[in-house]
């Protein structure tokens, strides 16, 4: 019987690693709490700490957001018509654009925050999850928010955020459809490059 | 003992298989991103009665959008910014609540028209409490009695009676709407108390201009970030409008 012991232990540890992957809602919650803690941190207040604060918030978001999958979802049906090189380029420039646009913005959203109510999760096909929550502002207005996530090697990752019933991915997809219809795929790439708020972050 | 070993083996096999089963498949980047939730949204939208909103008037709408955009950039934004600099945020929030309180007839009547008697009752209580205790509506003490604003407008009433929304329509100044929404806005205006006061139209225009500036001053950041985060702001606004419309349809 003793010979079993190491094997059992090894398998228990392997099983434990799988179990440690948290539920989608727990993942959203821990990332949110991590970001809130950063924004409240007394050592990170003021304009002097802005860069440090933004970098830390960005690192938290990178752990939970599947930027590449979001970029791909935003391109929608046009994805299939692009070559491998074009896809790689698109994922790079648009996921950079998303990161730049949203990781700075998140701080302003949280400034107005009163409380967050988590309303449970729903799992589809084993690999997709939706986590719903209500964000109440200091002026007592409720905003329904939904995170759509996909399971990956690094846990549950957010690929779309639905705020007040408006999906970020669908919103970009509709914009891309309009731009591609008017000025083609090259026009879209030009627009994204022109819109990039700053030089690419490291 | 044999039984126990067999069970143990079974359990081990299950434990070993479990992580393999839940491991994600290698990302296939050939096809379009498969999003079961988006697919659900589309199925739900198709199951709803009535046609979805469409934009056959895009050319005209884009023109109105450009006009509104210029109006915002050249007039509304600078004025609202200056005003926001002078008047502190709590004051502007109070002014916003005051204007909302005055719109009680719109919400009250349309709640009734849509058969929401309880909603109309809540609105009436809100109006009574906020007009008296809340100093004409500058404050919202009714919210502390769990009396939350019951949004209702004439557009929703027309929808309630089965009128289709018609084409997407960008209204000057008012922004995204539909043909039915334009009729609804006219109906709401008919319920505006300002219309029934005996004052020169210049004063009425001034008040509604003031209301817009005040509302804009509270949303500058929102509007600016929308403009910054979009590549085709017209398409983005239309997409957001259609999506929230589908929810309410």
Whole-number average pLDDT of chain A: 85
pLDDT at B87 over 90: yes
pLDDT at B226 over 90: no
pLDDT of residue A29: 93
Which conformational region is residue A46 in: left (phi greater than 0), alpha (psi within -120 to 50 degrees), or beta?
left
Written as six digits, the tokens of A148 are 């759509």
B16 and chain A in contact, CB less than 8 A: yes
A164: closest chain B residue by CA: B244
User: Would you give the distance in Å from CA B112 to the centre of its chain?
Assistant: 21
Q: Which of B24 and B95 is assigned the larger pLDDT?
A: B95
**How many interchain CB pairs under 8 A, A with B?**
119
B31: closest chain A residue by CA: A80
Interface predicted TM-score (ipTM) of this complex, two decimals: 0.78
- Closest-CA distance, A141 to chain B, in angstroms, reads 10
**pLDDT per position as a tens digit, A89-138:** 999 999 888 888 887 777 677 777 889 999 999 999 989 999 999 999 88
3-state class (DSSP) for residue B166: coil
Written as six digits, the tokens of B152 are 């209702």
Count the residues in chain B: 249
pLDDT at B196 over 60: yes
**pLDDT per position as a tens digit, B151-193:** 999 999 999 999 998 999 999 988 999 999 999 999 998 888 7
pLDDT of residue B203: 83
* pLDDT grade for B9, boundaries at 50, 70 and 90: very low
B contact residues 130-189, partner A, Cβ 8 Å cutoff = 140, 143
CB of A179 closer than 8 Å to CB of A188: yes
Q: Which of B63 and A61 is assigned the larger pLDDT?
A: B63
* pLDDT grade for B18, boundaries at 50, 70 and 90: very low
pLDDT of residue B198: 77
A181 and chain B in contact, CB less than 8 A: no
Residues contacting residue A31 through CB under 8 Å, at least 6 positions apart: A60, A61, A63, A64
A76 and chain B in contact, CB less than 8 A: yes
Among A88, A97, A108, A172, which would you mutate to test the B interface (most chain B Cβ atoms within 10 Å of its Cβ)?
A: A172
pLDDT of residue A121: 94
Q: Which residues of chain A are under the pLDDT cut of 70?
A: 1-21, 107, 197-202
């Amino acid at each position: 019987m003793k010979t079993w012991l190491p094997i059992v232990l090894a398998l228990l540890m392997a099983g434990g690693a799988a179990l440690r992957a948290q539920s989608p809602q727990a993942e959203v919650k821990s990332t949110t709490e991590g970001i809130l803690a950063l924004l409240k941190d007394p050592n990170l207040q003021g304009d002097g700490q802005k860069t440090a604060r933004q970098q830390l918030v960005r690192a938290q978001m990178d752990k939970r957001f599947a930027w590449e999958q979001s970029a791909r979802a935003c391109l929608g049906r046009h994805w299939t018509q692009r070559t491998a090189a074009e896809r790689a380029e698109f994922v790079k420039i648009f996921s950079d654009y998303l990161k730049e646009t949203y990781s700075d913005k998140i701080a302003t959203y949280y400034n107005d925050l009163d409380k967050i109510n988590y309303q449970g999760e729903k799992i589809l096909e084993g690999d997709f999850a939706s986590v719903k929550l209500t964000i109440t502002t200091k002026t007592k207005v409720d905003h329904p928010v939904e995170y759509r996530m996909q399971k990956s090697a690094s846990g549950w990752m957010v690929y779309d955020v639905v705020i007040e019933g408006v999906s970020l991915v669908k919103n970009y997809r509709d914009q891309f459809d309009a731009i591609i219809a008017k000025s083609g795929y090259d026009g879209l790439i030009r627009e994204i490059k022109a819109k990039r708020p700053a030089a690419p972050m490291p | 003992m044999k039984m126990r070993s067999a069970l143990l083996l079974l359990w081990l096999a299950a434990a070993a298989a479990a992580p393999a089963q839940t491991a994600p498949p290698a990302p296939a980047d050939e096809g379009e991103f498969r999003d079961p939730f988006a697919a659900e949204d589309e199925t739900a939208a198709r199951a709803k009665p009535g046609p979805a909103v469409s934009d056959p008037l895009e050319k005209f709408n884009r023109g109105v959008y450009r006009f509104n955009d210029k109006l915002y950039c050249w007039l509304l934004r600078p004025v609202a910014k200056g005003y926001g600099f002078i008047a502190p945020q709590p004051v502007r929030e109070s002014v916003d609540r005051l204007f909302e309180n005055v719109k009680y007839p719109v919400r009250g009547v349309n709640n009734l028209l849509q058969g929401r008697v309880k909603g109309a009752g809540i609105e009436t209580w809100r109006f009574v409490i906020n007009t008296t205790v809340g100093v004409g509506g500058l404050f919202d003490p009714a919210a502390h009695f769990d009396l939350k604003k019951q949004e209702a407008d004439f557009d929703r009433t027309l929808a309630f009676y089965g009128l289709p929304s018609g084409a997407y329509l960008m209204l000057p100044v008012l922004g995204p709407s539909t043909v039915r929404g334009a009729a609804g806005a006219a109906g709401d205006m008919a319920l505006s108390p300002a219309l029934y006061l005996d004052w020169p139209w210049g004063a009425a225009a001034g008040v509604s201009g003031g209301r817009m500036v005040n509302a804009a001053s509270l949303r500058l950041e929102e509007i600016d970030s929308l403009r910054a985060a979009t590549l085709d702001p017209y398409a983005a606004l239309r997409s957001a409008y259609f999506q929230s419309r589908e929810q309410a349809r």
